[in-house]
Chain A
Amino acid sequence: MSVDIAVIDYGMGNLRSVSKAIEHVAPAASVVVTSDPAVIAAAGRVVFPGQGAAPDCMREIDARGLRQVIVDAARSKPFLGICMGMQVLFDHSEEGDTACLGILPGTVQRFPHEAMHDEAGNKLKVPHMGWNNVHQAIPHPLWVGIEEGARFYFVHSYFVQPASPEVIAGFSHYPFPFTCAVATANIFAVQFHPEKSQNDGLTLLGNFVTWNPGASETACDMSGAACA
């Protein structure tokens, strides 16, 4: 039997929070935490979480034979990357000089030590840990019901630098602007933790479980030039 939502388990971190938060917003859906490529391939939508270090993440993905099914899912169905699950979608991470999945062009870099101070000269700590404002760079079905500048919970020391600015869906400041959400046709990926960001996080997850990426394109086709 195929499942509605597969949460990819590759041995990196607390997946219970992610699955519980999704169950909370989609009580009727079947949600499984799985490392079975067949289950992931058959799922209607995929959540790709992750914590820890990039080299370990990539090693565990390959050790479980998950690389291809992740790449396929990211190209074909509603796909939500969270934290490390966002970073490894890109080409390369500075963390451990790691080649990543290369689904999105760009790199992952550490918050540079020399830049980590606020306007008053106070030191800013790394990891960037806590609740920061998320600015919505584009309108998107996953932002619906979430105020511009709403706070989400972050904990990370590296951030993504997409090669194509058009994928940037959201950004935050620490102290400089950095990309904290990206979107393509069927991928939405975030640096923050929606599963730990209380009501706004649950809203985002709720938007994901009902997101129909094809629908907006169809709407564009039907309305013709207005979407060009």
Chain B
Amino acid sequence: MLAKRIIPCLDVTNGRVVKGVNFVELKDAGDPVEIARRYNEAGADELTFLDITASSDNRDLILHIIEAVASEVFIPLTVGGGVRAVGDVQRLLNAGADKISINTSAIANPQLVKDAADRYGSQCIVVAIDAKRVGDHWEVFSHGGRNATGLDAITWAKKMESLGAGELLLTSMDRDGTKSGFDLELTRAISDAVDIPIIASGGVGNLQHLVDGVKEGRADAVLAASIFHFGEYGIDEAKRYMKQHGIEVRL
């Protein structure tokens, strides 16, 4: 039976992992390769790297990181942040990324999703959606959640699926950073609206939240950063908790 996935997310800027990662005896808390290796050993099902580098001068650093990680960590790697053109997708895939996550550029230019999916296959195109509740619906926000787009999140999710996205990474802006759990209503609404897998993100504060995301939100995968980075919970611990609650996981 297909397992639900647990995906740690690493924010990378200027070639370093930020937000600190707290593994026992980690020599360098900012080294993406060492952190990736440790998460791999801990049983992460995939890894997501979010490049938040502000300066375009240092953008190529992510390519070197992916090359280094892909040479010794043999699980799926997703990279997002700053993907603006098909050429960016190609460079990241050539570096060893398996999936490329597109967010703001998909809003500015939906054709990018179609072009990239047509060229490299839907399996490697993830569309990241940052959504926030506005009145009786959820609206899509761009630029890291700063700019309202006027797009309805459910309509947008369906459009991205129709253009060739193979997966959606859904982040609730209302819950992100709150540790109060996923927006289950949002997750479920999007998951029910499309036939492609959904990764739930934003708000995880404990292991029950991961269970709820899968069971109530109907997510196919759950993404989290801080609960794993700061050592509050281990990946293995999270998986065993999910299994105890009847969720199929890879142990």
Question: Taking beta carbons and an 8 Å cutoff, which residues of A are in contact with B?
Answer: 12-14, 16-17, 20-21, 24, 51-53, 113, 116, 122-133, 151, 153-157, 173-174, 193, 195-198, 201-202
- B22 CB-CB contact with A under 8 Å: no
Beyond A16-B70, A51-B123, A130-B221, whether A125 also contacts B250 by CB under 8 A is no
- B166 CB-CB contact with A under 8 Å: yes
- B122 CB-CB contact with A under 8 Å: yes
Complex Cα distance A116/B74, Å? 29
B199 to chain A, nearest CB (A): 10
Q: Which residues on the A side are within 8 Å of B124 (C-beta)? A: 13-14, 51
Complex Cα distance A53/B71, Å? 26
Q: Which residues on the A side are within 8 Å of B120 (C-beta)? A: 13, 51-52
Question: Taking beta carbons and an 8 Å cutoff, which residues of B are in contact with A?
Answer: 1-5, 40, 45, 67, 70-72, 74-76, 93-98, 119-124, 166-167, 192, 195-198, 218, 220-221, 250
A91 to chain B, nearest CB (A): 22
Decide if A17 touches B3 in the complex (CB within 8 Å).
no
Decide if A13 touches B74 in the complex (CB within 8 Å).
no
A159 to chain B, nearest CB (A): 13
- Among residues of A, the one whose C-beta sits closest to the C-beta of B3 is A131
- Among residues of B, the one whose C-beta sits closest to the C-beta of A199 is B74
Q: Can you show 12 pairs from A to B with CB atoms below 8 A apart?
A: A14-B93, A14-B94, A20-B96, A127-B123, A130-B3, A130-B220, A131-B250, A151-B3, A155-B123, A157-B122, A157-B123, A193-B76
Complex Cα distance A155/B78, Å? 13
B229 to chain A, nearest CB (A): 21
Q: Which residues on the B side are within 8 Å of A174 (C-beta)? A: 2
Q: Which residues on the B side are within 8 Å of A201 (C-beta)? A: 74
Complex Cα distance A197/B75, Å? 6
- Among residues of B, the one whose C-beta sits closest to the C-beta of A133 is B1
Q: Which residues on the A side are within 8 Å of B74 (C-beta)? A: 17, 21, 24, 195-198, 201-202
Complex Cα distance A126/B220, Å? 11
Q: Which residues on the B side are within 8 Å of A157 (C-beta)? A: 122-123
Beyond A16-B96, A51-B120, A196-B74, whether A132 also contacts B195 by CB under 8 A is no
Beyond A14-B98, A20-B71, A198-B40, whether A130 also contacts B2 by CB under 8 A is yes
Decide if B166 touches A20 in the complex (CB within 8 Å).
no
Q: Which 7 A-B pairs have the closest CB atoms?
A: A52-B121, A131-B250, A125-B197, A155-B123, A16-B96, A131-B3, A132-B2
Beyond A17-B70, A195-B74, whether A123 also contacts B3 by CB under 8 A is no
Decide if B1 touches A129 in the complex (CB within 8 Å).
no
Beyond A16-B96, A174-B2, A201-B74, whether A125 also contacts B123 by CB under 8 A is no
Beyond A13-B93, A51-B124, A196-B98, whether A127 also contacts B197 by CB under 8 A is yes
Decide if A126 touches B196 in the complex (CB within 8 Å).
yes
Complex Cα distance A201/B76, Å? 12
* Best-surrounded residue of A14, A116, A133 (most CB of chain B within 10 A): A14
